Structure 1
Amino acid sequence: MAAPNQIAYTNKRVLDRYLALEQPADKVMATYIWIDGTGENVRAKTRTLDSIPKSPKDLPIWNYDGSSTYQADGSNSDIYLHPCAIYRDPFLLGNNILVLCETYRHNGKPTESNHRKSCAEVMDRAKDQHPWFGLEQEYTLLDQDLHPFGWPKNGFPGPQGPYYCGVGANKVFGRDIVEAHYKACLYAGVMICGTNAEVMPAQWEFQVGPAEGVKMADDMWVARYLLHRVAEDFGVVVTLDPKPVPGNWNGAGAHTNFSTTAMREENGIIEIEKAITKLSKQHIRHIKAYDPHEGKDNERRLTGHHETSSIHDFSAGVANRGCSVRIPRQVAEEKKGYLEDRRPSSNCDPYSVSEVLVRTMCLDE
């Protein structure tokens, strides 16, 4: 039997013949993407449109079987997909599109994993402060046996040290996937702004932003979809687990950079310090919002070791990666800019993270 990556390679060679077929000019393949009941995984399915949509309002509301996505009972299983953002499809090309959707129940109420609706409402309330976000998404590549990609099958690689931003076949694993994902994001219209190899081998990071309001979270969810979809083509698995390998290995986070107009202006450091004081008084609230299981996933990661703070205590500092909230050195020197919240886990919902940051720092809730 062929190895999984060989199967993927063979299938793609054959698939190219069919993707090259001419597509009718009046037909569009629209892949609807949504967040399932886990709050951290995405699902997708595709339909044909008879015209090119100019905005999400031009797209039909669709439905799916919520009993198969942890979102409904079999006796009343229809969940509705409401289109909210359109992206170019880097896999099917042409006029074909990706459609990010919100999920709603039969009674018109959002599903439990639909945090976009409340996030958008909060962003609208704070729009006069122009909140900007940038999110650093860490993730780990695995073989299909769920063993870290490129690691020895019966042991461990050498200790951490040479892998961060590393170069060389003995230091980085999976660069093909990383670069393919980067190009796919740029083609789709995602505001990806960088990528790098991380401290643990087979662990990587990409950054989305800066973007205002709900845009960053929209782009991040689509970037996650693209990451899983690209890795699928290579026969590799992506995990967003915040501590994929126990022991003396770095975990994975989603460090979130935040600023308002006042923070970005001259002497904005004063506003940044005020914001940190507000965050210090809402530590538990933020920890609960920073992973899908209200802090239980982050307990494995936020230990006070491996460039993390303790989940139990709030801390802040300049250029200190062991703090809950970090002020970058350049920001401290220029006395304006942004702050970095290092607590969100890699499997966080960026809608929940950005919403609670605005509620605390902009709306004083």
Structure 2
Amino acid sequence: MPKFKLEYIWLDGYTPVPNLRSKTQLKDFDSFPTLEQLPNWGFDGSSTQQAEGRSSDCVLKPVALYPDGSRNNGILVMCEVMMPDGVTPHPSNSRATILDDADTWFGFEQEYFLWEDGAPLGFPKGGYPGPQGPYYCGVGFSNVGDVARQIVEEHLELCLEAGINHEGINAEVAKGQWEFQIFGKGSKTCADQIWVARYILNRLCESYGVDVNYHCKPLGKDLDWNGSGMHCNFSTKYMRETGGKEYFEALMAAFGKNLDEHIAVYGPDNHMRLTGLHETQSIDKFTYGIADRGSSVRVPHSFINAGYKGYLEDRRPNSQGDPYQIASRVLKTISEVPLP
């Protein structure tokens, strides 16, 4: 009977951005186990800002599992954090109570910087490379280097081996900045895959001596370099099959009304990124426009051409945002709009 290496992954209690944590448990199974076969597992919450030392027990509850292509008989196990009873969600558990609907589809565009010695990978020591322009979807050593390409390609393969639904990768606008896109049906399914993809990337970069910087504006808001977003593409069954201009306008009115509620969960320090420059709308405004990358919500031409049917892109979520909270907030606003 083979031993399987179960890498339990969870989000700690740090704020405003939780860190990914993990530890390995070995278990005997006849074959690749099901989720129901995986046991809960305890950990020391006093070391992760999730408990006090005098009562430090927390519990990991497996909620999704993925083959781990970096290990023989390896499995990546995404977990929720529970209280010691194993039933009550921990206050830091951002997944347990979110809105979810398998007919609401999400696509997240995760931007990030590869980071080395306090600067984006490929920046000259103590200075800056040439201005933005040639790096977006760039090719060639001077634009993307060699190590970065190795990392993103290896990350893609590991995610595909894990069954994560990647839809694309590309070099981004700033030097050392990259993006991957993930699609999923339902808030939890898509968000689980984003968190596990982040975990895989962080772990992979260890072997290259490189970090991943998810901050939305790591080079500072006063420098002429793009920040990092995590644009949220979304559609409901009604939007895909029926749609219509009247419903679309009511939906956009609801998004405008809930501006503050969305910004509150779209990632910290977003005021540094949502300045009205670099293809963003100002953080205190809500706008929408056809193919307008400077709007809060970009409306694809395909949406209009199909009779106001299809998907929309909320460009405000940032690269540090919690996809559980982002997807749930989008779904909550959608649910406030009655169907015609």
TM-score by length of 1: 0.86
Query: How many residue pairs are counted as aligned between the two chains?
Result: 329
Instruction: Give the 3-state SS of the residue equivalent to 2:144 in structure 1.
Output: coil
1:58 and 1:268 mapped to 2: Cα distance? 45
Match of 1:286 in 2: 262
Deviation at 1:26, TM superposition (A): 2.4
Match of 1:164 in 2: 136
Match for residue 161 of structure 2 among 173, 181, 187: 187
Match of 1:46 in 2: 24
2:314 and 2:182 mapped to 1: Cα distance? 15
Instruction: Give the 3-state SS of the residue equivalent to 1:357 in structure 2.
Output: helix
1:270 and 1:170 mapped to 2: Cα distance? 49
Question: How far does the alpha carbon of each residue in 1:46-67 deviate from its partner, in whole angstroms, 9 at most, with x for none?
Answer: 0111114542221110011111
- Asked if 1:261 corresponds to 2:240, the answer is no
- Asked if 1:117 corresponds to 2:93, the answer is no
Q: Say if 1:269 and 1:235 are closer, same or farther in 2 by CA, change over 3 A.
A: farther
Identity of aligned residues (%): 46
- Asked if 1:56 corresponds to 2:35, the answer is yes
2:162 and 2:207 mapped to 1: Cα distance? 17
1:261 and 1:270 mapped to 2: Cα distance? 16
Q: Say if 1:270 and 1:230 are closer, same or farther in 2 by CA, change over 3 A.
A: farther
The answer (yes or no) to whether the contact 1:40–1:347 under 8 Å persists in 2 is: no
Question: How far does the alpha carbon of each residue in 1:64-110 deviate from its partner, in whole angstroms, 9 at most, with x for none?
Answer: 111111211111111110000010011103x3211000001225432
1:203 and 1:80 mapped to 2: Cα distance? 36
Match of 1:100 in 2: 78
Deviation at 1:210, TM superposition (A): 4.1
The answer (yes or no) to whether the contact 1:40–1:348 under 8 Å persists in 2 is: no
Alignment of 1:310-321 (within 5 A): 310-321=282-293
Deviation at 1:267, TM superposition (A): 4.6
1:193 and 1:78 mapped to 2: Cα distance? 39
Question: How far does the alpha carbon of each residue in 1:110-155 deviate from its partner, in whole angstroms, 9 at most, with x for none?
Answer: 2333111112xx21xx55xx11100000000011x22211100121
Deviation at 1:345, TM superposition (A): 1.0
2:118 and 2:301 mapped to 1: Cα distance? 38
The answer (yes or no) to whether the contact 2:12–2:20 under 8 Å persists in 1 is: yes
Alignment of 1:287-306 (within 5 A): 287-291=263-267, 293=268, 297-306=269-278
1:290 and 1:264 mapped to 2: Cα distance? 24
Match of 2:12 in 1: 36
Instruction: Give the 3-state SS of the residue equivalent to 1:116 in structure 2.
Output: coil
2:187 and 2:233 mapped to 1: Cα distance? 13
The answer (yes or no) to whether the contact 2:250–2:337 under 8 Å persists in 1 is: no
Match of 2:196 in 1: 222
1:222 and 1:153 mapped to 2: Cα distance? 32
Q: Which amino acid aligns with 1:152?
A: P
- Structure having the higher helix fraction is 1
Q: Say if 1:243 and 1:29 are closer, same or farther in 2 by CA, change over 3 A.
A: same
Question: How far does the alpha carbon of each residue in 1:31-60 deviate from its partner, in whole angstroms, 9 at most, with x for none?
Answer: 000111124321110011111454222111
Q: Which amino acid aligns with 2:323?
A: P
Instruction: Give the 3-state SS of the residue equivalent to 1:88 in structure 2.
Output: strand
1:182 and 1:163 mapped to 2: Cα distance? 20
TM-score by length of 2: 0.92
Q: Which amino acid aligns with 1:85?
A: A
Instruction: Give the 3-state SS of the residue equivalent to 1:355 in structure 2.
Output: helix
2:118 and 2:237 mapped to 1: Cα distance? 44
- Asked if 1:71 corresponds to 2:50, the answer is yes
Question: How far does the alpha carbon of each residue in 1:309-329 deviate from its partner, in whole angstroms, 9 at most, with x for none?
Answer: 101111111111111111012
RMSD of equivalent CA atoms: 1.6
The answer (yes or no) to whether the contact 1:148–1:202 under 8 Å persists in 2 is: yes
Aligned structure 1 segments of 4 or more residues deviating by more than 4 angstroms: 266-270
Match for residue 311 of structure 2 among 328, 333, 338: 338
Q: Which amino acid aligns with 2:150?
A: D
2:254 and 2:243 mapped to 1: Cα distance? 18
Q: Which amino acid aligns with 1:250?
A: N
Match of 1:11 in 2: none
Match for residue 219 of structure 2 among 240, 245, 264: 245
The answer (yes or no) to whether the contact 2:251–2:337 under 8 Å persists in 1 is: no
Instruction: Give the 3-state SS of the residue equivalent to 1:311 in structure 2.
Output: coil
Deviation at 1:364, TM superposition (A): 4.8
Structure 2: runs of 5+ lacking an equivalent: none
The answer (yes or no) to whether the contact 1:142–1:148 under 8 Å persists in 2 is: yes
Q: Say if 1:230 and 1:26 are closer, same or farther in 2 by CA, change over 3 A.
A: same
2:70 and 2:37 mapped to 1: Cα distance? 22
Deviation at 1:334, TM superposition (A): 2.2
Instruction: Give the 3-state SS of the residue equivalent to 1:215 in structure 2.
Output: helix
Structure 1: runs of 5+ lacking an equivalent: 1-24
- Asked if 1:177 corresponds to 2:143, the answer is no
Deviation at 1:298, TM superposition (A): 0.5
